[in-house]
């Protein structure tokens, strides 16, 4: 394959922080449909929310796969999840976070994993705050997804040491 025909590849992780067990097969099918490969997902109990389970799934695929995975999971209100996609040539990294109470939030990310806020979004937040420092802090918290991070942090911590599976997108 020539360099001109080579496809860019990136990677990321799907973290399903909590879901009712009844949704597990449906989540697996949704992820498999995006990745084009079987997803041997191992579900484990989520101690933060009894009665739910969690999993992590690392993936490799074309840039944009993270958005497709996040879209495939969107709509299940009882599911807490995050999807990450690392930056790749010509593409920013991203993180999509979803909680039942807040819905979905998208953040562009740098190679270090830090949130990146675009100039236009900063200008809009500055204008919306009308010079009020407290309103500007609230605008920044929204842009950075602070409420999502606060809600998901206990679920993230509960996942330390959990097994991770790698899946490759079939092209």
The Cα 88–Cα 23 span in angstroms is: 32
pLDDT of residue 162: 52
Structure-token pair, residue 125: 């937040």
The dihedrals phi and psi of 102, each to the nearest 5 degrees, come to -110, -20
- Tell me the mean pLDDT per 10 residues along the chain, length 171: 64 96 96 90 93 95 96 92 93 94 94 88 93 93 94 83 50 49
pLDDT of residue 121: 92
Q: Can you give the length of the chain in residues?
A: 171
pTM: 0.85
């Amino acid at each position: 394959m020539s360099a001109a025909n080579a496809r860019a590849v990136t990677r990321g992780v799907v973290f399903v922080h909590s879901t009712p067990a009844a949704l597990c097969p449906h989540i697996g099918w949704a992820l498999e449909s995006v990745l084009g490969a079987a997803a041997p997902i191992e579900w484990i109990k989520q101690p933060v929310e009894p009665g739910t389970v969690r999993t992590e799934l690392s993936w490799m695929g074309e840039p944009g796969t993270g958005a497709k995975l996040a879209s495939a999971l969107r709509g299940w209100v009882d599911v807490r999840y995050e999807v990450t996609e690392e930056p790749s040539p010509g593409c920013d990294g991203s993180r999509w976070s979803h909680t039942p109470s807040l819905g979905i939030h998208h953040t562009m990310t740098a190679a270090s994993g830090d949130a990146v806020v675009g100039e236009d979004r900063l200008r809009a937040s500055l204008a919306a705050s009308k010079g009020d420092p407290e309103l500007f802090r609230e605008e920044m918290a929204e842009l950075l997804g602070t409420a999502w991070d606060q809600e998901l942090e206990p679920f993230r911590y509960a996942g330390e040491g959990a097994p991770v599976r790698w899946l490759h997108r079939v092209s």
